[in-house]
Chain A
């Protein structure tokens, strides 16, 4: 495997890990405030992702950094071509991050309720935006000969976001992260919250099945597997299956047009290809060494972190 191909695979891996790991914590962000009936239960729901959400989000930093380093043209065309959608993503991620971190540090129940509201809305918007962006990527951008998206104004960078693939993607993004979030909450909580998470997972499965039937009919197999596991109360497997399905979906979108990494909707000759967009061999060798040395360690200590916080979070009120 030559270096550009290897780095395409590694970049896709980072994006997949981001979507899988943040997918469930977007879902938890929406569901914890909704499923928790009181301050205590909502706190329990949020605590399931409290120690790990930030580490999950760093996979976005890694994915963007790796895309920039290994494929500067891909990074440049993607972000400048979808300027306003990505700015929106950054704003909703900002609101989400601070709502999570500030929630427990304001001292009053009213403060926590306000943070929960911001968390739920921003998580929902973030999931929708990422879904829409994947929908756009599945079809490509109007790349011109210089590798930039042609045209100008709002229609250029905001237009793709209201196209049919983007809207379907947004709906699917919301549905899938809710499903992932519900199965994660079911796996990580006890008592009433655990029971309600299961109901939520079952409820999400129906619209997700409809959307998948429209977008990618073979994906219905995965939906059926997740549904069966939720019904059978196999919590670990249900969450794992939902996560694998998300990962496969992301790979399918990013690799759909190979050797193009970013297809042009105007002329296939303008598409950015793996080799055409790749950085120089020197830069690729450098980041290869860095990735080989560093990433296995990252995965190991992130796994350690999940292991440390493996216990379920009690949602019942303990009388003391």
Chain B
């Protein structure tokens, strides 16, 4: 493989890996804050306090991996994409700097205060600290998505005629890019679907092993409601994002459908047999007019096909291949939707089966059979939103190719000029090794929390007469 291919592979590996943890951190921060708010409002009900601690432990474990893998993200634009950093640093750099100053300090400092401060902060202040962490994760998500939106749909810049480098225009315009306005709610809703699924799985598993005061049932239902709401919002905002994308990157959406010929009243392909990357017809189960409707809101509208767009881009940008890898786009788009819908349906099923103090009941009948399999395969439930999110990012990034910044800067031009394939292979091996170990340890720790957390006595949260006591090691 060439240095360019290895750099791309490395970027994909470390970014996809990082994003396995980010959605959980975002949603668990808010969910922990919500649970603690309930605990604060209902001090007589100890269940909320215990569940806060369970979600909080999951948050701490996940956040740690998010931090150390996120640091790599900030470095890698300089490490292996230094040409991109030079040409677009003026626009891209400030978003990273502001994300760090505005959000990461909040998250890191207040998470430390929250975890260690339970017995030395007044209850109200302690509750505020976790909410500040939650707000920090959302600010961070918005700013970094605005940076990504620039790559999808460059706005708020001018090009220096001498050097060809981008110059930042209005930061407000950068933050109100129509892509980020649609991508932010889409991404956050997806994050909540992920965190909810984790609570659902742990709650349902624990509930089967004894649940005298119903706390695990509560955990299950909080998780299921979160995933149902998140999954529904993902679909609605995904529709918005798709319409925006059809305008700013028609090629991406044509590739998602493997639509080669421009077509009026275009159908939506549910799934296909064969290789949709080839122009030969392949078997495809189609829903008539749906693609035109999804892309534009009008079932008879014309949707541009790959062939026309390629010809248009050659005329606009010069000779070259402007078609992304179509099977990748086609299938990642369908996996994204498929896994997302499946997670949402599982959540809806769990809510239905646990309605009015019922429980999941493996037993005779179809519903009992479904419950039996659900309980057997509970561990897959939190995996579904993660797979959907991964597929979504693979789609959005690979179907933008060959562009790094759409219409302006090619991926092939962005790579660090002096790097050799050997160096990148070495670093990729290093990341793969460390990240692999991290994944194993993370899973073990989450399973441990799932098995044991929530039974320990609720910690004291009043900072009254404890101020003069020396800190007791809790690490």
Q: Taking beta carbons and an 8 Å cutoff, which residues of A are in contact with B?
A: 40, 43-44, 46-47, 50-55, 57-58, 60-62, 64-66, 68-70, 72-73, 75-81, 83-84, 86-88, 90-91, 93-95, 97-98, 100-107, 146-154, 156-157, 190, 279-280, 282-283, 286-287, 290-291, 294-295, 298, 301-302, 304-305, 308-309, 311-315, 318
Contact = CB atoms under 8 A, between A and B. Distances in A.
Given A283-B90, A314-B470, A314-B473, A51 B418 contact: no
A68 B116 CA distance: 33
A146 B417 CA distance: 10
Contacts of B317: none
A81 B416 CA distance: 9
A68 B420 CA distance: 23
A129 B78 CA distance: 18
B354 to A, nearest CB: 29
Interface in B397-422: 416-420, 422
Interface in B237-262: none
A75 B85 contact: yes
B113 A308 contact: yes
A290 B97 contact: yes
30 contacts: A50-B474, A51-B115, A52-B109, A52-B112, A53-B112, A55-B108, A55-B109, A58-B108, A62-B101, A64-B78, A65-B96, A69-B94, A72-B85, A78-B78, A79-B75, A79-B78, A83-B423, A87-B430, A91-B430, A91-B431, A95-B434, A101-B64, A102-B64, A153-B423, A282-B169, A283-B91, A286-B94, A290-B101, A294-B101, A301-B105
Contacts of A55: 105, 108-109, 112
Given A84-B423, A152-B420, A72 B471 contact: no
B112 A50 contact: yes
A64 B74 contact: yes
Contact of B98 (A50, A72, A107, A290): A290
Nearest to A151: B418
A286 B171 contact: yes
Contact of B67 (A54, A87, A156, A309): A54
Nearest to B69: A94
Main secondary structure of the interface of A (DSSP, over half): helix
A67 to B, nearest CB: 8
Given A54-B111, A65-B74, A156-B418, A83 B117 contact: no
B71 A94 contact: yes
A61 B93 contact: no
Contacts of A283: 90-91, 93-94, 167-168
Given A65-B74, A286-B171, A294-B102, 20 more contacts: A50-B474, A52-B109, A64-B74, A65-B96, A68-B77, A72-B86, A80-B78, A84-B426, A93-B71, A98-B441, A101-B61, A105-B448, A149-B418, A150-B418, A152-B418, A153-B420, A156-B418, A287-B97, A312-B470, A315-B473
Contacts of A151: 418
B104 to A, nearest CB: 5
A282 B168 contact: yes
A51 to B, nearest CB: 4
Contacts of B121: 308
Contacts of A156: 418
Tell which of A54, A61, A91, A190 has the most Cβ of chain B within 10 Å: A61
Contact of B438 (A81, A94, A279, A301): A94
B420 A57 contact: no
B99 interface: yes
Interface in B457-474: 469-474
B428 to A, nearest CB: 9
A47 B109 contact: no
Contacts of A46: 473, 475
A52 B121 CA distance: 16
A314 B472 contact: yes
Given A76-B86, A83-B79, A83-B416, A102 B475 contact: no
Contacts of A149: 418
A314 B82 contact: no
Tell which of B83, B106, B418, B438 has the most Cβ of chain A within 10 Å: B418
